[in-house]
Amino acid sequence: MKATIVLTTPQQTNQVLKSLITLIQGSSQLQQQITNHGIWFENLTTATVAAFKQLLHKQQYSAYASTDTSVHLQVAHNDVNALLKILLQILQSSSELSKPLWASGVSLFPLTADQANDLKKQLEADSAVVTITDSPAPPQPYTLSGTVVDATSGNHLFDAQLVILFQRGGQDLGSETVTTLSTGEFLVPLEASLWTDRPSGQTLSVSFQVSQNGQPLATDTRIPDLQPQDQSITVRVTVPNVEPEGTFIVQGTVSSTDGSALPDALVRAFDRDMRHEEFLGAQATKAQGFYQISYTPGQFRRAEKGSADLVVRVYRQTDATASVNLVEVAASEILFNAPPVATIDVTVPAAAYRGPSEWERHHATILPLRETVEVAALTDEDLEFLSRETEITIEHLRHLRQDAQWAEAHDVADAVFYGLLRQGLPTELRSLLAEPPSRLRAALAENLIPQALADDLDGILERLLELAVQMDFLPDEDSEIGARLVWH
C-alpha cells in the first residue's frame, strides 16, 4: 500500500509534521520501512526540485535520487534520524519548500494495510488528507558509497565535490554529483536501469572527478565492472603541496563528547610560539560541524618560519570578527610544523557547549514570521498566531514580549526579565524585583538565556537592585509602571 499525505491548511503544518515524526519514531516497523525504501516526493515542478536539491546540498545530505519532477530521500548508513532532521527542515511552516511539498504530497510505500490506515487515522485528525492506494513496492535502488582520502596523508577530505561518471561500451550514461560529508564519506543511489538492456559482454564502468575549493584533485580510482549490488570504494586523490608563498589550510570537525556535531561554533586558528600566539583566521562551523580556515606564511609571527605550529580554539560566540566576549570551550593540542593542509578535530565537553539558549531559539523562530513588527509591539492576537504557527507556548511568547517591553523601558539587557519570568516568578514588576537575584544564575544554568549575560552578571544584578530601590519609592497610584508594565 502507498500512503500520500497532502496538507491544504497551512495553519496545521507544524502539528501534522510533529505527528508524522512522532509516528515514525514510535514504530520500529515504520522506521525499517523508511530505511529500506525512503520517502518520496512526486509531481513536483522543476523549480521545486532544484530548490530541494540545493537545500540538500547545503545540508550535506547526499542520500537521494531525483528526476525532473520527483525527489526520493533515502537513509544513509542506517541513520533514520538524519533523514528525519531533513524532513523537519523542509516541511516546517517556515521553510520555503513547505507549501509546494505538502501540496504535492509526501509518500511512504510499501506499507502494510494496518500501517497505512493507522497513518491515515492519526494524520487526518490533524487536518491532513491521506490517500491510500494499492501501489506495488518501488524498485529498491542499489547504492555506491565510499570515502575520499588524501593518498599521501590518509586524511579524509570533507566538502569535496565528487562527480561520478558512468560508461558502457565507451558510451556515456550520465553522471551523479555529490559533496563529501565531514567524515569524507559519500553515498549515491544507483537505479536498476543502469544495468537493463545491457548488450552481452559489455560492462558498466565508473570513473571519478574530484575537486575541493575549486581545485581539481587527480585520482586514478575507477571501477571497471560495477555490479548490480551495493558497493563501497575508497577514492584516493593527490592533494598538491602548497608552496611556502601560497595558501595553507587547517580543517577539521568540531563535535561534542556525546558524538554529535556542533554547527555554528566559532573556530579560531593560531600560530603558537613559546609565549605568544598569532591569530591566523576564523570560521563558524557548518551543518556537520566542520570548518576550514586558510592562512598564509605572511601571518606567521616570525617571518622565517616555514610552517605554523597550529592550535585551534573553539568558542561559543559565532561572530568570527569579534575579539571580545569570547567564551572558549575547547582547544586542540599544538600541531608542530603543520603540513600545508592540516586536519585538526576538536572535541568539546557536552556541558561546555549547550548551543543557543531558549530565548535565542524562540527569537530566531519568530523572526521571519513577525517581519518588521517589534517584539515589544506584538498584540495578543499576534502572540496567538505565532503560538499556533510555531508551537511555542503562549506563555513563553508573553514572556518574550514582556522582556522586550521592560528591557527597553528600564535599560536592562535583553533576556534578563525572560530568564526570571520563565521560573514562575511574579509577572508584576515590583514583586518580581523583590525576588532573590540568584534566580538569574539559575536561568543561565538552565540555558534559558544567552550565556553571554554571565560576563556582565554583576552589572546586571546591580542594575536590578537599583531598579528595585526606585520602584519602592514609586506609589502604586502614581506610577505609570503600574498601568503599563503589569502583565497583560
Q: Using one digit for the tens of pLDDT, what is the confidence trace for 27-63?
A: 888 888 888 888 999 889 988 988 888 888 777 777 7
Q: Mean of the pLDDT values across residues 303-325?
A: 66
| pLDDT one-digit tens code per residue, 411-463 | 899 999 999 999 888 888 888 888 876 788 888 888 889 878 888 888 898 88
Distance of alpha carbon 252 from alpha carbon 341, whole angstroms: 10
Q: Let me know if the fold of 142-237 is the same as that of 248-348.
A: yes
Does residue 233 carry a pLDDT above 90? Answer: yes
DSSP secondary structure of 273-331: -SS-EEEEEEEE--TTSEEEEEE-GGGSSSTT-SS--EEEEEES---TT--SS--EEEE
- Which pLDDT score is estimated for 192? 67
Distance of alpha carbon 286 from alpha carbon 369, whole angstroms: 25
Distance of alpha carbon 240 from alpha carbon 438, whole angstroms: 57
Q: Indicate the domain borders of the chain.
A: 2-133, 142-237, 248-348, 358-484
What is the dihedral angle through the alpha carbons of 405, 410, 416, 419, rounded to the nearest 10 degrees? -60
Distance of alpha carbon 278 from alpha carbon 314, whole angstroms: 16
The whole-angstrom distance between residue 223's C-alpha and the CA centroid of its chain comes to 34
In this prediction, what percent of the chain has a pLDDT beyond 90?
Answer: 18
Does residue 329 carry a pLDDT above 90? Answer: no
Distance of alpha carbon 311 from alpha carbon 267, whole angstroms: 10
| pLDDT one-digit tens code per residue, 288-302 | 788 889 888 877 755
User: Which of helix, strand or coil describes residue 420?
Assistant: helix
Q: What phi-psi label fits residue 64: left (phi over 0), alpha (psi between -120 and 50 degrees) or beta? A: beta
| Confidence grade of residue 478 (pLDDT, cut at 50, 70, 90) | very low
Beta bridge pairs of residue 328: 315
Structurally, at CATH architecture level, domain 248-348 sits in Sandwich (2.60)
pTM, two decimals, is 0.44
Distance of alpha carbon 17 from alpha carbon 5, whole angstroms: 10
Sign of the Cα pseudo-torsion (52, 54, 57, 63, in order): positive
**CATH level 3 topology of 142-237:** Immunoglobulin-like (2.60.40)
| pLDDT one-digit tens code per residue, 124-158 | 887 788 888 887 656 666 788 889 998 887 888 87
Write down the residue that cell numbers 571497471 correspond to: 224
